[in-house]
Amino acid sequence: MRIVVTGATGNVGTALLRRLAVEPDVEVHGVSRRPPVPEPPYDVEWTPLDLSRVGAEEPLTEVLRGADAVVHLAWKIQPGHDEAALYRTNVAGSDRVFAAARKAGVPHLVHMSSVGAYSPATKDHTVDESWPTGGLTNSYYSRHKAAVERQLDQVERDNPEMVVSRVRPALILQPDAATEIKRYFLGPLVPSVLFRFGLPVLPVPNAMVLQFVHSEDVADALAEVVKRKAPGAFNLASAPVITPKVLASVLRGKHVPVPPAVLRGLARITWKLRLQPTSEGWVDLALTTPLLDSSRARAELGWSPRHDAREALRRLLDGMGKREGVSASPPLRP
């Protein structure tokens, strides 16, 4: 089986390469804007390609010829102040991948979507894959994820012979991505040393209830989706649900509830001043995205997460304090 992975040097891509390396008779071809140092798990064939570039679908089509599946992971989080640049990679780039897959005749397309694609919901219940994927209008990340879901709808309508799979995980963590995640969401405003000694006070709203999943568990699900050629959408989230109180305990501090408007306003001001990289849209996303029911993945993929969400979060925060990363990967490099 030949599998092409876009965005293969990132958080999920690195975990997926490790996972596929133990599969017999699987050949992996990585696609990334910046190729990695050729060492495990990056010792596969590579094509450096910027998906935001007009015409990128042409060389990608050649890479995809003869592939049994393409797993599309490439996605940009930053620069958050330049949505046009993000759109060129996230939405236009995804469209180029899908066009190349159609032209090359790839029988199976797997796209990494997100909990962020879903329409808002209250945190008092979980939702399955039938929940609307309308996104959140004031979050560029959510708008882009929802837009690509509509592209996939069109791919399915126009190409009934192609199997289309969508994986919608909660927030994805691993220690190897600690430096990247801190850089993307906290920046220099929050020093790494805080995660070594703990945060005395965590001022967040009561409604900031979150789910997490380890990248290795996401990679397990992706591998099963490819092997089983499983169509449709799959939610992925690990237990337990992380409440503000639980988050504060992991940070070795105390939760102090604040109104959502206070946190949103603080994020907006510091983001506009470029003191940190997270706009208020990310705050709203954390407050309104639904909690995921992962029953379908468990039943149809035999998926069972190996990592407890609380422990995965604890290891990530510890990795932030130690500035962990992967030197061979450009995006994960400390």
Q: Answer whether residue 284 is part of any domain.
A: no
What's the confidence (pLDDT) of residue 43? 95
Q: What residues contact 130, with CB distance under 8 A and at least 6 apart? A: none
- The dihedral through the CA atoms of 102, 107, 113, 117 has a sign that is positive
Q: Answer whether residue 242 is part of any domain.
A: no
Measured in whole angstroms, the distance separating CA 261 from the mean position of its chain's CA atoms is 26
Q: Answer whether residue 247 is part of any domain.
A: no
Q: Answer whether residue 54 is part of any domain.
A: yes
Q: Answer whether residue 206 is part of any domain.
A: no
Per-residue pLDDT tens digits of the chain, which is 334 residues long:
999 999 999 999 999 999 999 999 999 999 999 999 999 999 999 999 999 999 999 999 999 999 999 999 999 999 999 999 999 999 999 999 999 999 999 999 999 999 999 999 999 999 999 999 999 999 999 999 999 999 999 999 999 999 999 999 999 999 999 999 999 999 988 888 888 888 899 999 999 999 999 999 999 999 999 999 999 999 999 999 999 999 999 999 999 999 999 999 999 999 999 999 999 999 999 999 999 999 999 999 999 999 999 999 999 999 999 999 999 999 999 9
Domain CATH code at residue 13: 3.40.50.720
**Residue 119: DSSP 8-state:** P
**pLDDT tens digit sequence for 26-66:** 999 999 999 999 999 999 999 999 999 999 999 999 999 99
What's the confidence (pLDDT) of residue 91? 98
3-class DSSP state for residue 55?
coil
Q: Answer whether residue 226 is part of any domain.
A: yes
What's the confidence (pLDDT) of residue 198? 85
What's the confidence (pLDDT) of residue 189? 84
Question: pTM of the entire structure?
Answer: 0.97
Domain that includes residue 105, residue range: 2-172+212-237+289-307
**Residue 87 dihedral angles phi and psi, to the nearest 5°:** -60, -40
Q: How many domains does the chain have?
A: 1
Q: What residues contact 53, with CB distance under 8 A and at least 6 apart? A: none
**pLDDT tens digit sequence for 76-106:** 999 999 999 999 999 999 999 999 999 999 9
Q: Answer whether residue 255 is part of any domain.
A: no
Element of type H or E holding 303: none
Q: Answer whether residue 264 is part of any domain.
A: no
What's the confidence (pLDDT) of residue 46? 97
- The amino acid at residue 315 is R
Supply the Cα-derived Rg of the chain in whole angstroms. Answer: 19
What's the confidence (pLDDT) of residue 196? 87
Q: Give the whole-angstrom CA distance, residue 41 versus residue 44.
A: 8
